[in-house]
Structure 1
Amino acid sequence: MAALLLPALLAGACALALGLALRLRALHRQRDAAAAQAAEAELRFRSIFDNAVLGMYQTTEDGHYLAANQALADLYGYPTPAALMAGLSDIAGRLYVERGRRDDFKALIRARARVVDFESEVYRRDGERIWISENAHAVHGADGRFLYYEGSVEDISERRRHRTLLEHQATHDPVTGLPNRYLLQDRLDRAMGAARRRDERLMVAFIDLDNFKFVNDSMGHAVGDRLLVEMARRLQACVRETDTLARYGGDEFVLIISSAAAQAGPVQVLERVHDAVRQPLALEGRDLSVGCSMGVAVYPRDGADLETLLRHADAAMYQAKAAGKGQFRFYEAGLNAAVQERLALESALRRTLENDSDEFQVAYQPKFDASGDVCGCEALARWHSTESGTVAPDRFIPLAEETGLIVLLTARVLHAACAEAVRWSGQGGAAPGVAVNISARHFRRDGQLAALVRAALEQSGLPPGRLQLELTESLFVGNVEETVAILGELKALGVTIAIDDFGTGYSSLAYLKRFPVDVLKIDRSFVGECDRADDARSITGAVLSLGRSLGLRVVAEGVERPAQAAYLLAHGCDELQGYLYAQPMPAAALRDFLASYRGGRRAPALAAVG
């Protein structure tokens, strides 16, 4: 029996051993395949790691590289990954520009398990600073133990520069480079916070350049921008790093004077600003002087936010302008009423002009020649507001100039004056002409002035030779070639050109012969003193002599005393205008006045001094 069992047992043992051998062989094959797959995966990972276009790395927690690819080496300026790992052995101390940035990196990973778009400024090998963005995470072993950080790096310097540029453009003025009104809010919030902590005050100064519109309108926007840049430079030189200078818009600047400066001497700061602005400035070969008017509000006395402080500083600034420009005023309670009155007047002026209301009328002041005949009339705008009553020209004309409404007002006066002049009859059949003042703003509106004048003449039927356009001397400061061209367009229509307020502007006499001008009109400030002050008499005499030498007619306005008329006539003045002879009068009254001079009757005042 035993003999029979033994072979069977041996056979089973052999079968079992064979099975085990086969299973072991299969296991070996599986292990070899797994090893091969792992090796292949390792090779693929290494290939991806080494050939990636992004910088890739593995680092220890204490800031040493375990692995780096060629892209990272190139990014940081090293020839090889090995050179990078050897040369940059202290990542925290030698890579990041901002100290503690590596600690921020590790803290974020501990809190969130990874960092995404972690932006930092870093040093390259040659010392150049660039901006990078990192995406990284922590790698742990099977037992949860930290092994290393693994991540990628991208150079975002160009993207960062573009973003910085966009941010700068959003918060800074494109002409002067100063902070704009949006950044002004942030700067003021910071300044007020510092003042509160120290229980101190600060000043907000609203600065408006005087005569800027004259330069911008007469010399062009390019020159106006150059003026703004120079004024910004001068203003910036007057303040400290702790102060803020912003361009608020147009020719307006806002200066936030820090609490320390405000405590030390606010008047000295403002005087320094004023002195810097008013220094002569050379533009387009001409020396100009542009002052400034300033209004100041004090925090916290005059307001606790930007809107209130600016409103009060603006009110004080207009008070400074009303006092004669070139000054500064501190805000006082009650100034808001004046500002509200001005805003109401501006609103009424705009509404009246845009709605073509009959509140605006044209008055006419006669001009007389040396023989006593009425030789022309000047058209003058008069405003009889239903809300404010009669508004003086010295109130609404500057406001119209400042707001640009003068363009509408000029067009309205021109059309009305041309239509009215057609109704006039003159002495012996010669009807007088009409003179209309033209604003510098209208003069520079790309050829629209000639079109406006042509339309007024055609619609009224007034002969062009009876229309005189009076242009302020400031118009002749700008581009000479452009000025000659525009005047040529007007002269081609057949109208007469006069320079108003002659002697008060900046035009060069060397250019005067180039302009197709027919009349010089002596400013009333010289006429008013020509019988009393030697300097006024000298200027008046010089203008009369200049007019004769150039073959121009000379008109004196503002004649109020017989002695003035006597001096002017004795020195060859061609036309006289002023209250001595006649005040401005409505159209109907003027027709009666002209009727009284039919038949060659002379003006009584001229008869007395002639």
Structure 2
Amino acid sequence: METVAFEHSTEQLSQILFEVIHLVSDETELSEVYAGIHKQLKKLMPAANCIFIRLPEDKSGFVIDYYADECHQVPLRELQTLPRSRLDRTLTGLMLTQMALCHFRRAEINQMIESRQIEAIGEVPTEWLGVPLMLDDRVAGAMVIQTYRDDEGYNQQQKQVLNVIARQVALALLLFEQRQRLADGERRLKEEVAARTAELKATITALRRNMEERRAMEARLAHQSLHDSLTGLANRQLFANRLQQALRVRERERREVAVIFLDLDHFKNINDALGHDAGDQLLKVVAQRLEAATRPNDTVARFGGDEFAILLTSIRHRNEALQIARRIHTELRQPVILNGREVVPGGSLGVSTTELSEARSEALMRDADAAMYRAKARGKQQVCLFDTSIHQDVSRRLFLENELRRALRQQDELFMVYQPILALSSGQPVGFEALVRWQHPERGVIPPDVFIPVAEASGQILALGHYVLEAVVSQLKVWDDSRFWVSVNVSPIELLHGDFVSHMMRICQRHKVDPRRLHLEVTESVVIENVLSAQACLRILQEQGIRAALDDFGTGYSSLRYLQTLPFDYIKVDKAFVQVLSENNMDPIVETLAFLRQRIDKKLIAEGVETLEQLTILQHLHYDFAQGYLFAKPMGADDVPGFYRNFNFSACSQPPKRQLQ
């Protein structure tokens, strides 16, 4: 500490300096430190007016940490707003520039104000004393005292004391800055920790949300992979999983398991007539009805299209499964409104149980499918329980499939026969219906109503149809007789196959046969179930000059509405309606067609004519053509030319004895 000659006692000065050092070292607010120092200064010199200024290290401005003035009562916050440039043009700014203690009296201050060396702020003091606060070579601030009284002033000793105290104040500034940097570092650290914590929380929240979204998406994908998107029912995979599980439980609980297969009848008609949206709506209604008709623990599934399956678990007896199947059948038959039209859905149901089938999922599904096809074969809208007879039918059908495939490959067992078609007006043959036959080497002649459905079900009908067309067209070339035509039965799969017409035309061109000598017979059910597709194909045939007949007329369920719109040349009445004709029994289908004959502009062919009485009735109803055993049974190709030359209509017919009423 410097030795200072002073009017106060050394002990008093030491005590004051001790208080200043104590204030500086105390970790209190800087303004409180300055207030304490100001209090001590007033004990040593005229220091009622005092100001402490701090200059930040970045030189961005200045901070007034403490301010006391007797005459200039300006709020501290107002002084804080003064720009640094204004401070530079004051006595304080001049002292900071000189970086040394400065002492100015009023006259000198007024002279500097008049010369515009400085600007006055407030009243001009009698004497002004300021000292810079130095930290090494940097000016860190300023300490200024001043007096407005004429009887007060500052001597050399007081200046020395102020310099000593200024060094302690600078130390206070240094400690303040260090604490400030530490506080700032701690604050920044806390802010950084808080930011990182918030970021971590946000990341964890985002990860948790992503995980939840991923789990939800996985759950949705898992659900979608196991459920039908249209109806929300289980799909084939989920059905198979639950069937396997049910069979495992069955072994423990000794309860039976049943599988029901359902195929909607005439669903394609609804799609064609009302549109696919109506078809989708019907599928949803069916799904709801199936769930309503089954038990909570049962599984209802959609396999695709109009195929459904139901898994019944823990049933006591096969009769319980049949009861549920019949309840489903009844529930399905309730009308539903689609596009403003009432539709009565229905289906064919096949039931298999572990009582009558092997307790394996493949066997149960296979047997339920076989039972469903048995229900369809019985006329649809039926419920059929699988039994051993169906298994035998399946085995027999599988045998026929393999044998037919072999026969089509070798082509030495299949052959064609021809049944004549007569014009009733002239009594002369005008055409022949080509019929395919199968002579099996072990089982003999297999009827067409047995092997043709097998061909359709096994996907061999196209190959069989190709064989028939090839055989008939090549035979037409052999006969080389344009006076009669040959009609060929066409299956639904053939007709609706995109290549059918072009394939037939290629065969005719290869054998150099006029395609107009071919007539096609298409069953009524094919047309009704595929109206638009069948109509388009028939139009193409008509453009090629190929005539077509609507075969088996009367066996459909809404036939008359199609007669005027479909491009058929002939209507062939099914033999079931012809063979019941008698003098006392007039079939309404046969009679109605006769009355509509002119309006619909189609020629009528009656098949299955076996008696003279049937022939007589058809003649009086003005039918155009007839065929049946009354005239001739189907014959081989070699017999056709002779039959055509030698047939005598009078030998099998006589004029009617009286007119029908």
SS of 1:259's equivalent?
strand
The residue aligned with 1:441 is: 493
The residue aligned with 1:243 is: 298
Q: 2:571 aligns with which of 520, 544, 549?
A: 520
SS of 2:478's equivalent?
coil
> For the Cα contact (< 8 Å) 1:433–1:467, is it kept in 2?
yes
> For the Cα contact (< 8 Å) 1:527–1:540, is it kept in 2?
yes
CA distance in 1, matches of 2:273, 2:521: 15
Q: Flag the structure with larger Rg.
A: 2
Shift of 1:229: 4.9
CA distance in 2, matches of 1:270, 1:588: 54
Larger relative contact order (CA 8 Å, sep ≥ 6): 1
CA distance in 2, matches of 1:220, 1:379: 37
CA distance in 1, matches of 2:337, 2:420: 40
Deviation string for 1:447-470 (max 9, x for gaps)? x33212322332232323322111
CA distance in 1, matches of 2:562, 2:348: 32
Aligned length: 480
CA distance in 2, matches of 1:176, 1:386: 50
Q: In the TM superposition, what are the counterparts of 1:296-375 in structure 2 within 5 Å?
A: 296-299=351-354, 302-321=357-376, 323-333=378-388, 335-353=390-408, 355=409, 357-370=411-424, 371-375=426-430
Pick closer, same or farther for the CA change 1:334–1:453 going to 2, 3 Å.
closer
CA distance in 2, matches of 1:445, 1:164: 42
> For the Cα contact (< 8 Å) 1:208–1:253, is it kept in 2?
yes
The residue identity in structure 2 corresponding to 1:517 is F
Q: 2:550 aligns with which of 476, 499, 512?
A: 499
Shift of 1:322: 5.1
CA distance in 2, matches of 1:440, 1:219: 21
The residue aligned with 1:571 is: 621
Deviation string for 1:560-605 (max 9, x for gaps)? 11111110011101111111111222222333433434xxx43622
Pick closer, same or farther for the CA change 1:378–1:225 going to 2, 3 Å.
farther
Asked if residue 46 in structure 1 is aligned to residue 194 in structure 2, the reply is yes
The residue aligned with 1:275 is: 330
> For the Cα contact (< 8 Å) 1:246–1:253, is it kept in 2?
yes
CA distance in 1, matches of 2:368, 2:650: 52
Q: 1:406 aligns with which of 461, 472, 489?
A: 461
The residue identity in structure 1 corresponding to 2:260 is A
SS of 2:209's equivalent?
strand
The residue aligned with 1:582 is: 632
Pick closer, same or farther for the CA change 1:517–1:300 going to 2, 3 Å.
closer
Consecutive unaligned residues in structure 2, runs of 5 or more: 1-177
CA distance in 2, matches of 1:178, 1:224: 16
Deviation string for 1:354-384 (max 9, x for gaps)? x363433222111111122111111122223
SS of 1:168's equivalent?
helix
CA distance in 1, matches of 2:490, 2:336: 27
SS of 2:437's equivalent?
strand
Asked if residue 461 in structure 1 is aligned to residue 523 in structure 2, the reply is no
CA distance in 2, matches of 1:189, 1:269: 21
Pick closer, same or farther for the CA change 1:481–1:311 going to 2, 3 Å.
closer
Q: Percent identity over the alignment? A: 36
Asked if residue 419 in structure 1 is aligned to residue 440 in structure 2, the reply is no
CA distance in 2, matches of 1:322, 1:478: 16
CA distance in 2, matches of 1:350, 1:449: 21
CA distance in 2, matches of 1:52, 1:375: 94
Q: In the TM superposition, what are the counterparts of 1:6-155 in structure 2 within 5 Å?
A: 42-51=190-199, 54-56=202-204, 72=205, 153-155=208-210
Shift of 1:559: 1.0
CA distance in 2, matches of 1:363, 1:414: 13
Pick closer, same or farther for the CA change 1:493–1:316 going to 2, 3 Å.
closer
Asked if residue 606 in structure 1 is aligned to residue 653 in structure 2, the reply is yes
Deviation string for 1:319-376 (max 9, x for gaps)? 54555544334343464333222122223334544x3634332221111111221111
TM-score (norm 1): 0.68
Asked if residue 529 in structure 1 is aligned to residue 583 in structure 2, the reply is no
Shift of 1:392: 1.4
> For the Cα contact (< 8 Å) 2:315–2:321, is it kept in 1?
no
CA distance in 1, matches of 2:638, 2:335: 49
Shift of 1:483: 4.7
Deviation string for 1:60-108 (max 9, x for gaps)? xxxxxxxxxxxx5xx7xxxxxxxxxxxxxxxxxxxxxxxxxxxxxxxxx
CA distance in 1, matches of 2:226, 2:589: 50
SS of 1:517's equivalent?
coil
Pick closer, same or farther for the CA change 1:204–1:514 going to 2, 3 Å.
closer
Shift of 1:215: 7.3
Pick closer, same or farther for the CA change 1:591–1:176 going to 2, 3 Å.
farther
The residue identity in structure 1 corresponding to 2:422 is F
CA distance in 2, matches of 1:276, 1:264: 18
CA distance in 1, matches of 2:533, 2:384: 39
CA distance in 1, matches of 2:318, 2:654: 67
Pick closer, same or farther for the CA change 1:389–1:413 going to 2, 3 Å.
same
> For the Cα contact (< 8 Å) 2:356–2:386, is it kept in 1?
no
CA distance in 2, matches of 1:282, 1:418: 49
CA distance in 2, matches of 1:497, 1:389: 33
The residue identity in structure 1 corresponding to 2:545 is G
Asked if residue 256 in structure 1 is aligned to residue 306 in structure 2, the reply is no
The residue aligned with 1:8 is: none
SS of 1:499's equivalent?
strand
The residue aligned with 2:98 is: none
Asked if residue 593 in structure 1 is aligned to residue 643 in structure 2, the reply is yes
CA distance in 2, matches of 1:561, 1:264: 48
Pick closer, same or farther for the CA change 1:486–1:580 going to 2, 3 Å.
same
CA distance in 2, matches of 1:592, 1:156: 86
CA distance in 1, matches of 2:656, 2:439: 36
CA distance in 1, matches of 2:567, 2:416: 28
SS of 1:579's equivalent?
coil
| Mean Cα deviation higher: 211-220 or 378-387 | 211-220
Shift of 1:47: 1.9
| Mean Cα deviation higher: 454-463 or 384-393 | 384-393
TM-score (norm 2): 0.63
CA distance in 2, matches of 1:221, 1:441: 21
Pick closer, same or farther for the CA change 1:334–1:434 going to 2, 3 Å.
closer
RMSD of equivalent CA atoms: 3.9
SS of 2:358's equivalent?
coil
The residue aligned with 2:595 is: 545
